Structure formats: structure tokens, C-alpha cells
Amino acid sequence: MADKEFVHYSIMKNEICSFLEPTAPGQLFIDCTMGEGGHSYEFLSRFPDIRLIGLDADPAIQVKARKRLASFGDRVQFVNTYFDEYFEDQIGREKPDRILMDLGISIFHYEESGRGFTFSKDEPLDMRINPENPLSAEILVNEYSEKDLADLIYKYGEERYSRRIAQAIVRERAGERIASAFRLAEIISSSVPSAYRHGRIHPATRSFQAIRIVVNNELERLQSALRNAVRALNPGGLIAVITFHSLEDRIVKHFFRDLNRDCICPPEQPRCVCGGARVLDLVTRKPVVPGSEEIAENPPSRSSKLRVARRVSDFWREADV
């Protein structure tokens, strides 16, 4: 596939750079979902004294980031990995001062990857961020039971017609294996009521989200990555997370809130046994959202939320692990 110009829009880049502005020369930034390198480019351009490590599980999109950031030389390093796997082992690694997790799927994956992330194209039903992942959307759609399909579409897509959709998928795959994103979208669309089919969003939107989440294990990776990323942060360091749907935002909100408490013992506990010290300060008490000008320029940004927290000290409660 021909290499196109960078097309991904970096969400809330001014707000993020303001929150994560370095406080000393040489501080280390980690861009956990580098994608095409949009946020990394902003950091490296605006803060000439920082160093940056960019993580991404997709080797194809990392090629684009390498081209985009080539002029920054050895100030930037590239690691082809999932962010949760990177933070699993911190032995011997330098502690970062700033961490960004942008959980949005890159425009590259919708427009250029050819992996069936979008229901508007007749592409193979894949949806894997890392092509080496053994589970693809095609396997999930064609081999999961009707109950499992309905449950995951309801749980991860918050889709009220999940059972009708799962029933239609199982019925259609009995005649012929479902191999393209376009065909799956047609099956979903034909299985829901007419009014829903012509609603504000495409009727396959929530189902595609759910399948993508399961294929890439997104929510479990996020929970693991948050724990280990905060443990890796230098005292005084900042972590910023951009979410795009309620399931992600709920995980981040609760995680930050729990580590912001001085004590996590249950109310009936006669005395504190958890250690009684905060791990995080909340920099943003409420999520930051894009302004109207950014939403007009980039409509998909309307669902994004930014939360930022600061690591208080080296203290870590084992109850939080």
C-alpha cells in the first residue's frame, strides 16, 4: 500500500503540552501510543531539552513515525511493543517524568491499514493493531458462540440490540464464513430496527468497537498499563490519559481516584492497614474536553476526555497492585 502523508489529528495537543510541560532539562517523556508521532512531534518541537521514548504495537505505523520524527535524532527512541508489556519490567530502566496514553485508534488504521477497522470499506475482517496477534476479528466473528458474541457486544459496545446482532451473525455465517468488514456491517445493519438503522450513528459502530476491544484486549491492557506506568513514574512525574468512550474513561477515573485517597481500607476497618498515604494527586478534578473550535476541525475529537495526575512519592501500597 502506498505511503500517504500523515493524516492523524493529535487530540488536545495544546492542552496536553501545557499540562506536561517539563520542569527541568533532560526530562524523559514516554508516548505510550505513539501512532504516527503527532503528540511526540509536539513534545520534541516545543521542549528542545527533553528526551522521548515512543511505544507502539503496530510496526507499520511506527515506520511512519520514524519518518516524521527523523530530524530529532537520538532525542527519540522507538520501541515496537504494547504499552502494558513495556511497563511490566522496569528493572534497570530510567524512570520517566511524563507519560502520555492516547487511547484513540489512529486514522491510519481506519484509512490505510487495510485491516477492516471501518465498516465503510470492503476490507478483510482483521482489526488487529499488531498483525501477529493470534486472535483476529474474523476468528472471533466466525468461531465465538452466539451467547459469547452477544455478551461481548453488549459489554464492550454497550449495544442494546446485541442479542439480535449475535443471532444474525450466527445465522449468516452458517451459510458462508464472514470474511469482510463490509459484509459484517451489512449483517448488523439488517438485524436492527429501521429507526435504529437510520439513527445518529451507523448501527454497526458499537459492535465494531466491541469486537476491536476484545481482539486487542484493550481494557485489560489499560488496567495493567496504568498500574505499572504509575509505579514507574518519578516522584513529581505526571501521567496524562486521553480516552474515547465511557468504558475506558471509567477505568482511568476510578484508578486515579483510588490512588488519590490517603486510605483505602473499608469503612468498618477499625484502623488503617493499607499504609495510609496517597500515591497520586489529581491535576484535573474533572476531565478536560476539546473546545468547539477543535471539534469543528476534527469531529471525532468530540468524544475524547483528558485526565492528568501527578505521582506524589515513591510510596506504593501493595493493595493497589
Average pLDDT over residues 27-32: 97
Q: What are the chain's domains?
A: 13-109+218-320 (3.40.50.150), 134-215 (1.10.150.170)
| Mean pLDDT score across all residues of the chain | 90
pLDDT of residue 242: 96
Confidence (pTM): 0.88
Task: List, for residues 261-306, the tens digit of each pLDDT value.
Answer: 887 677 777 777 766 678 999 999 999 999 999 888 888 788 899 9
pLDDT of residue 1: 38
Rounded distance, CA 96 to CA 32, Å? Answer: 12
Which residue reads 502523508 in cell numbers?
A: 5
Task: List, for residues 175-194, the tens digit of each pLDDT value.
Answer: 999 999 999 999 999 999 99
Task: List, for residues 141-174, the tens digit of each pLDDT value.
Answer: 999 999 999 999 999 999 999 999 999 999 999 9
- Which one has a higher pLDDT value, 3 or 225? 225
Rounded distance, CA 42 to CA 98, Å? Answer: 14
Query: Residue 60: what are its φ and ψ, rounded to 5°?
Result: -70, -45
Would you place residue 316 in the very low, low, confident or very high pLDDT band (cuts 50, 70, 90)? low
pLDDT of residue 231: 93
pLDDT of residue 6: 46
- Which one has a higher pLDDT value, 275 or 34? 34
Average pLDDT over residues 40-67: 95
At residue 36's C-alpha, the angle toward residues 33 and 40, to 5°, is 65
pLDDT of residue 274: 66
| Of residues 195, 136, 191, 199, the one with CA closest to residue 166 | 191
DSSP assignment string, 148-201: HHHHHHHHHH--TTHHHHHHHHHHHHHHS---BHHHHHHHHHHHS-HHHHTSSS
Provide, rounded to the nearest whole percent, the portion of the chain with pLDDT above 90: 71
- pLDDT surpassing 50 at residue 320: no
Q: What is the gyration radius of the CA atoms in the chain, in angstroms?
A: 21
